[in-house]
Amino acid sequence: MKSTLKILTVTLCLFLLGAPVFGQDIRTASELLRRVAEEYAGFDDYVAEIVMTTEDDRMEGTLYHKAPNRLYIEFSEPEEQFILSDGEYLRVHVPSLNTTLSQRLHRQADATPGGVATGEGLALMRRNFSVAYQESPDRVRLSATSGSLESVGPDAEVVNLRLDTSAPNEGYRQLILSIDEDYRIRRILGTTTDYDTIQFDFIDIQANVSLPDTRFEYESPPASSTFEDFLFESGG
């Protein structure tokens, strides 16, 4: 249980941060990150299978994102757990506790829970983090990425970017983004302020699939207790 809550906590820190191949015009890490941001800014929506791993636990599900700020992660493991944002509220349902955590998103920065893997999130990363290549600008196999907790999904050639910050309110000290030849993020390795590591793998990313707004409508789970404003006060 503690490990499941840890994954959810660091996931929320990440998601509240607010088809060409690599071209020869990409010279620096900053230019590559800019190109990735441009790719994601062109998505009206996307769907991906997601696996979140820590040293103690693993969670799997399907991620749905619709620009600018709608997010739904429907977990298959653990079953019936979800993270949902309609742009106004963020809700996290933990079925093992029969509890739903609810947070009103009153600032623009709070209302962009698409996290790193969106145009909005990548724009924030470019402003708030320094960027460099993890080891070199050379491609490596995703399965051989330094620091990975496990190999998840199909292997691919990627270039790894390292993003660092000293700002304590970001939730992460460092992020490693594994970028494939289509400028899409295949893996994120995050080191939290407590030096815990969490790995996010994105599998079978499908962009611009015309997700309906109804996908992000909230239905209260039966007999679930709700805790409001679990991250911060909702006023002002």
Pick from 156-170, 171-185, 204-218: least confident = 156-170
pLDDT value for 221: 85
C-alpha to C-alpha distance for 171 and 160, rounded to whole angstroms: 20
Confirm whether 234 is domain-assigned. Answer: no
Q: Is the pLDDT of residue 110 over 60?
A: no
Domain coverage including residue 155: 2-228
pLDDT tens profile 25-77: 567 999 999 899 889 889 999 999 999 998 888 999 999 999 888 899 999 99
Number of domains present in the structure of the chain:
1
Q: Is the pLDDT of residue 132 over 70?
A: yes
Pick from 38-47, 49-58, 128-137, 163-172: least confident = 163-172
Confirm whether 180 is domain-assigned. Answer: yes
Q: What is the mean pLDDT of residues 126-149?
A: 90
Confirm whether 64 is domain-assigned. Answer: yes
Confirm whether 183 is domain-assigned. Answer: yes
Confirm whether 236 is domain-assigned. Answer: no
CATH number at residue 77: 2.50.20.10
Q: Is the pLDDT of residue 18 over 60?
A: no
pLDDT value for 173: 86
Q: What is the mean pLDDT of residues 90-109?
A: 79
Confirm whether 156 is domain-assigned. Answer: yes
Confirm whether 175 is domain-assigned. Answer: yes
Confirm whether 235 is domain-assigned. Answer: no
Residue 21: band (very low, low, confident or very high) from pLDDT cuts 50, 70, 90? very low
Q: Is the pLDDT of residue 109 over 60?
A: no
pLDDT value for 114: 38
